[in-house]
Structure 1
């Protein structure tokens, strides 16, 4: 940074955000001496202002959005002048092709207005809290991992000397786990092995901003190990386990996944409490019991809630269904038996570590501590060994149903909140940075809006900007949007006859009155929605709450609820945005939850006509 106090370029503090006597320049032009000679440099803020003045004045933004310039300016002044503004984006923007640009722009507004890291003023993406538990071979406290690393990993001391925080170190280990192939990235399987990249390659005009073929970006990212796909691209997947998942309903480009991914698979196994769309495509369905037919706690924790929950058994499992714990133990037992029968006692995993097949059941049950019928014992000990929830007894926990979190712990899904917790008080993210001045886990250790990675520069995304959605699916006038279903938790109750009686009894698409009139459609009629990659039949609901050009279809409908099992996500080709492939740049490297591409659906282009 250029320090206006000493009038020279100085290195920004790396171990703390506290500036001391430094005064960073936001504007101006300054001389800098390089090994190759002298150059003139300017602060990034100067480039940001130039971009805004050139492309995004209120008048120009009005042309993009259709919102009057005066209203845009009023909103900006209201946000800037407010005592505090809070926003949680959750997974909404991740479903847009340019969602990262949208979220970076929102974050920039919050940062410029000072609405960051204080009560009533903060921005958070997807806040979650996770139990920091230890349970034999199943789970380990994050602090146990850190203690082990501090004693055995020579990099640990160097990281601490360089100012790495605990948050940074945990992210580093999680990113290395992905790089080693120890953690798979589901969307990469869909793109590479499910044919979604090839689908987008056949329609090169969808994204006019691309400078090269999409396949070239994919090849470069994989060749440079920026992203990882498991199994590798030269090996086809053979077995798919869906444990509570529903890939052929949930996955975008569902027809493409069925035509490409499913045909590569020799075995599909679904573990679920109901026969889902994916279950109907499976070779085996292992019947799990319902939530209230077993006792469990959530190892993944909860999002946007400061409590850990318990599910207590209220009824016995029906028929041949078992708890997912019992299913896992029985599978482990059978693998151990077959390993001994075939004298294949171990194998080397991807990292070269020996795994004992003949002792798999022993490992899963913590040396026989838990039997297949003791899922409550697993849940109990997982809770009692959790270090970041209030310390109450197991029976009290079951009676209350919840226990309050007392800290973030050291789980990767929760430490990014970067704050302390106080019982009875709201969670205020990022206070470690704003109040304690701990550096952010970014390349610059600041809130970083300028990204000088080659691809960001190539695609003109080095600073937050606006780009129109691609014409994914073809140049058609209607755009599909959606959200979570009102009458179902995901797809769990979407085919329940009682719940269906509260709505039209089958899948529906909500459209505007003007779009219906233009196509001579009436409420309740059946239409065909189509584009260049697929089509399906659905009933329309004409609604005054839908804007012209929009089609709303809520997310939960199952494949078998559509004629010919032509799912509505068959028209969502989910083109891959190359920015999602970027890696090898400080904090922009994939970990289990961030910095890898995701399938998109919002804004997919379609047209509709009366069904024949």
Structure 2
């Protein structure tokens, strides 16, 4: 409406990404290969084109179908259903005065009507979890609730990590991964502010028994084939009821032996050379430079939504395909759409943009938690490093206002207990005039084991569900990667604070 889209300095920027649009045998296909395959094999393709579908819309159709098949799963719904968060939300339904029905009723309706999907479904319990590339028992909200309800359902939890994270410490098996510069790899996700693919090159050999994830995967596949043969197992039925053969598993993963377990450089090399949206150069030149500029968003599902051309050396300006080339937006109306006449949006009064006061998540308490990213760590990677901890107070801290501290007889450096209906934890208080009354600031990244009795500050974060996040069956409001399914919230969690004596 105001002309702020599709021009320099005027765009909205959220979690925007640029992905390497590449292909590696059966592991990954470029977006243009998917479109070409659809044109030749999918009977719906001609009708989609007749209906004005762009490549972006067609790719989103396939992504949505991947959710429906259970190939991709939103972890938030797994935690709500299998981790006890839904029961917690139902117990405290009064937190959100805007709800028209119990929150559990919305969730059950979303599954019954095929708006949302989850594996395993609500009628089956998770049994085995592989945790890699994350630290969910530190990251997920309502930590204690997950520990009480989710972990007991698992028969086996395996974590792949290069350090003893909170999740690793709760795991049955930890597979030690080598760190970034003990392997060959690519950092393939760029952003419009830094539109580059980065080389991750091996500077030293992996320490001790640590291995790259690629080597782990190949060795695990080999061992699974071996053990299956010893037990006389030829096939198995997966969670979706499909019978799959175990024989040849390693052969499939390595593309017929093209990439051995110690050849992650070959894997990274071919991923780079097969990409369609990065400046062309040979592998040795890329290794020398260490960086290559994106030349387009490609037709990969991760970044096609940026909808723009990229010129190296110039700012990336999203949405110019719509504003300049007049391509339709991937919405129901083919325009930027504010009015949403989907059932849940209508029921909850959010069919047009509207302000609602945040729910009293955690209970009716006077203080609200906010925060940001840690200053001395990249997420949890260095949060317990002894040298970096000397730059701060060496333990988790919460910033309180002068007014709130005086009212509770809290001095700078005191230990305080923050609590609400969900849980409690203890933390050192920093009293600061820069904090407004009613606010408590806690920066992220602290590990569970850095708190007394491992009571993490996310233990109090109720993360209530807004039912509009369950909406579906409305063209552009259907679950796809990183969009259109419930997320977690922590800002605005209500707590009270009291000084801990001694």
TM-score bin, normalised by smaller chain: over 0.9
The answer for the alignment partner of 1:465 in structure 2 is 354
The answer for the alignment partner of 1:6 in structure 2 is none
Query: How far off its partner does 1:231 sit?
Result: 0.2
Give yes or no for contact 2:214–2:264 (8 Å, CA) kept in 1: yes
- For residues 445 and 226 of structure 2, the distance between their equivalents in structure 1, rounded to whole angstroms, comes to 40
Query: How far off its partner does 1:303 sit?
Result: 6.6
- For residues 475 and 304 of structure 1, the distance between their equivalents in structure 2, rounded to whole angstroms, comes to 40
Q: Does 1:560 align with 2:433?
A: no
5 Å matches for 1:438-587? 438-587=327-476
- For residues 39 and 232 of structure 2, the distance between their equivalents in structure 1, rounded to whole angstroms, comes to 38
Give yes or no for contact 2:372–2:443 (8 Å, CA) kept in 1: yes
1:394 paired residue among 283, 294, 318: 283
The answer for the alignment partner of 2:269 in structure 1 is 380
Give yes or no for contact 1:193–1:260 (8 Å, CA) kept in 2: yes
- For residues 247 and 397 of structure 2, the distance between their equivalents in structure 1, rounded to whole angstroms, comes to 51
- For residues 320 and 298 of structure 1, the distance between their equivalents in structure 2, rounded to whole angstroms, comes to 24
The answer for the alignment partner of 2:322 in structure 1 is 433
CA shift digits 1:124-164 (9 cap, x unpaired): 32211000111122221111111111101000110001110
Query: How far off its partner does 1:435 sit?
Result: 0.5
* TM-score, normalised by the number of residues in structure 1: 0.80
- For residues 323 and 394 of structure 2, the distance between their equivalents in structure 1, rounded to whole angstroms, comes to 51
Query: How far off its partner does 1:282 sit?
Result: 0.2
Give yes or no for contact 1:307–1:404 (8 Å, CA) kept in 2: yes
1:342 paired residue among 227, 231, 235: 231
Question: Would you say how many aligned residue pairs link Structure 1 and Structure 2?
Answer: 501
The answer for the alignment partner of 2:16 in structure 1 is 127
**TM-align CA RMSD:** 1.3
The answer for the alignment partner of 1:34 in structure 2 is none
5 Å matches for 1:197-276? 197-276=86-165
SS at match of 2:341: coil
- For residues 343 and 589 of structure 1, the distance between their equivalents in structure 2, rounded to whole angstroms, comes to 43
The answer for the alignment partner of 2:58 in structure 1 is 169
- For residues 559 and 123 of structure 1, the distance between their equivalents in structure 2, rounded to whole angstroms, comes to 35
Q: 1:483 to 1:303 in 2, by over 3 A?
A: farther
- For residues 388 and 487 of structure 1, the distance between their equivalents in structure 2, rounded to whole angstroms, comes to 34
- For residues 86 and 385 of structure 2, the distance between their equivalents in structure 1, rounded to whole angstroms, comes to 36
Q: Does 1:280 align with 2:193?
A: no
- For residues 414 and 544 of structure 1, the distance between their equivalents in structure 2, rounded to whole angstroms, comes to 42
Q: Does 1:370 align with 2:252?
A: no
- For residues 318 and 269 of structure 2, the distance between their equivalents in structure 1, rounded to whole angstroms, comes to 30
The answer for the alignment partner of 1:143 in structure 2 is 32
* TM-score, normalised by the number of residues in structure 2: 0.98
Query: How far off its partner does 1:316 sit?
Result: 1.2
The answer for the alignment partner of 1:55 in structure 2 is none
The answer for the alignment partner of 1:290 in structure 2 is 179
SS at match of 1:285: strand
Query: How far off its partner does 1:209 sit?
Result: 0.4
Give yes or no for contact 2:188–2:197 (8 Å, CA) kept in 1: no
Query: How far off its partner does 1:340 sit?
Result: 2.1
Instruction: Name structure 2 gaps, 5 residues minimum.
Output: none
- For residues 332 and 301 of structure 1, the distance between their equivalents in structure 2, rounded to whole angstroms, comes to 31
